[in-house]
Structure 1
Amino acid sequence: MKLNGIRELLEAWDRGEGLGDLLGVSEQATPDEPPAAPTPPSAPGDLIDFDSFAPAPPLDPNRRELTDRLIDTGLSPTAAMEFVDRLSSDCDSLAARYADSLFDHLARKDQIRAEQDHTVRAADSAIARLISERAMSAMLDRAPRPADSPAPR
């Protein structure tokens, strides 16, 4: 059946003709049997979802340097990476704590002024965190390096 316009389509629809007949498409037969149940994987490799393995983000140059130094002192690569991860986490916690304290100090000082908008508060928080992180970085840079420490006995 060939239709030349929307009006003819609506009239055919009103007459009770099926959509497949109207559009010239044969209706798909529905199977009488239910779909087959999924089969278990045949090989152990089929159980692995390879899409979930994403490449690791590149290591920060400072973290990489510290990890390399720890490996050079005799620590295993796994232990060195775990140590650097813990140290980084601890430094982030300390920086956040002192950033919060510094932000509270800045906020109390600014209570005298008019109410600030959200962007200024976010900027103050970012500045406070940056100050704390730079102070931590300076302290870590002053820490003795493995070459400066005495040899183990």
Structure 2
Amino acid sequence: MVGGVEYTIDELARAAGTTVRSVRVYHERGVLQPPQVKGRTGYYGPEHLKRVHTISRLLDRGIKLNGIKELLAAWDRGDDLGDVLGVGDPGEPGAVSVAAGDTISAAELQEYFGSAPNGLARVVAAGVYEPVDAATYRVADRELARFVDQLTAVGVSAADALTELEKLRADCDRMARRVADLIHRTAWESYRNSDRTVADIAELAESVGVLRSAPVPAVAGVLPRLIARSVEQDVELTEALGNP
């Protein structure tokens, strides 16, 4: 193994912040290379860990395992994945020129969100930008900045885009709190009533990993369908779109 680092499947799952079951699914779906087998035990190396982290990030972005398999295959071939992963050339048509770390002057930011009451303070509180100094801010969250830019690009005012962002954050916060409550009521309570052995800790870690990650692809799959259904219920809009 590179650098002499080796992981069993349990150790790999813990190091990657995921579950043994997820690692096995990655094998079954062909997105993770098999381990090196010694005796009857499979051992993983740093490249496996890096791959599992990559898979987790792509799942968090709502990409399904079939799509991830294609992306990783292209990656392994050395293809340019910039466009697919949303990190391509900002100058290309339709691309959004925001990235974590990009800077903008306080004056520009104030002007951009000037129509929103306390716009500058609110966009910072929402986690989109953070101050570098009194005159400069930088993008703190690329995806949130992209969300605002995409809305304003189709004519939504900066003030309305900021309001929608705050509502989105509030909805996500409520979901996160429900997940945390579920973890506390189930995995944590089970561990509290256990003997707290190494095996119990491992079970706690695996349960928490599942409960933390499971809602992400579920939301990514359900939300587009719910949005589509809600849009289709607007009869006038649907008729307009069906009869250009």
Taking structure 1 as the reference length, the TM-score comes to 0.45
Higher strand share: 2
Taking structure 2 as the reference length, the TM-score comes to 0.31
